[in-house]
Amino acid sequence: MRKFIEKNRYSKRLMEIFLYNRFYGYPSFRLKKFAERVSALVPSGTRILDAGAGECIYKKYFPRAEYVSQDMCIGNKDWNFNKIDIKSNIYDIPVKDESFDFILCMEVLEHLRYPDRAFREFARILKPEGKLFLVCPLVWEEHQKPHDYFRYTQFALNSLADESGFEATWMEKQGGKFIVLSMLITGIIPSFFMERNFINTGRFFEIIFYPIMFPVAFILYCLDKFDKNKELTLQYECIFVKK
């Protein structure tokens, strides 16, 4: 049932409107906005590597560039990895030095046992002044088990980047305390079932409780505007430049 819904473009559009908007489903909304933001920095004729691409959901944002996908293909069991161009370890990608102008790495770093090695590999395959677009979590539940190892502060990310020859030119927090609280409250019942592989049951309760949860999510979204420092955030959105 879920696969049918996801393949139906109209149902997917409805899910995007109701379940993945700035109030309800905030992380998905922000990932889309980040992809749109960085796509504007990628001109025609350049090459971009999507490292840990999964099902290549971000390919559509880079129609002008040569998009190349890489993955170890050990993520979610129900994912389709047929679109992956390079099936390899992220620490040793079989391409020449300075092969890419850009690298996209979305919600991958937490799944790497050796993130420092990944950063060094990114530095090897990026051209001088090439850009690394990266998103990774600070507050997130364990997922894709057992391949889930770390959560990152801004200081850890800056340290990894600096030690590998990168400089952070842009870093933004994905919401604050109230957004984190919103994700916990709105997701607690659906995730209880989904974690036990009762996916359709989880979706059912998400729909049933939506009329109650959406106003809660809306209020918490508005309150998050008052959290100026955002010391507790869901994820970091980063742009690093190779020195």
* Mean pLDDT of each 10-residue bin along the chain, 243 residues long: 50 73 94 97 97 97 98 87 96 98 98 98 98 97 92 98 97 98 92 82 87 95 97 98 96
- What integer pLDDT is reported at residue 206 of this predicted model? 87
DSSP state of 176: -
Q: How many CA atoms lie within 13 A of 235 on its CB side?
A: 21
C-alpha distance from residue 119 to each of 67, 110, 132 (Å)? 20, 13, 9
Find, among 67, 42, 236, the residue nearest to 131 by Cα.
42
Instruction: Say if residues 137 and 152 touch (Cβ distance below 8 Å).
Output: yes
Rounded distance between C-alpha atoms, residue 130 and residue 134, angstroms: 13
For position 169, what pLDDT does the model report?
A: 97
Domains of the chain: 43-175+228-243 (3.40.50.150)
On whether the CB atoms of residues 112 and 118 are closer than 8 A, the answer is: yes
Longest dimension (CA), the chain: 53
Q: What is the pTM of this model?
A: 0.90
> 221, 179 in Cβ contact below 8 A?
yes
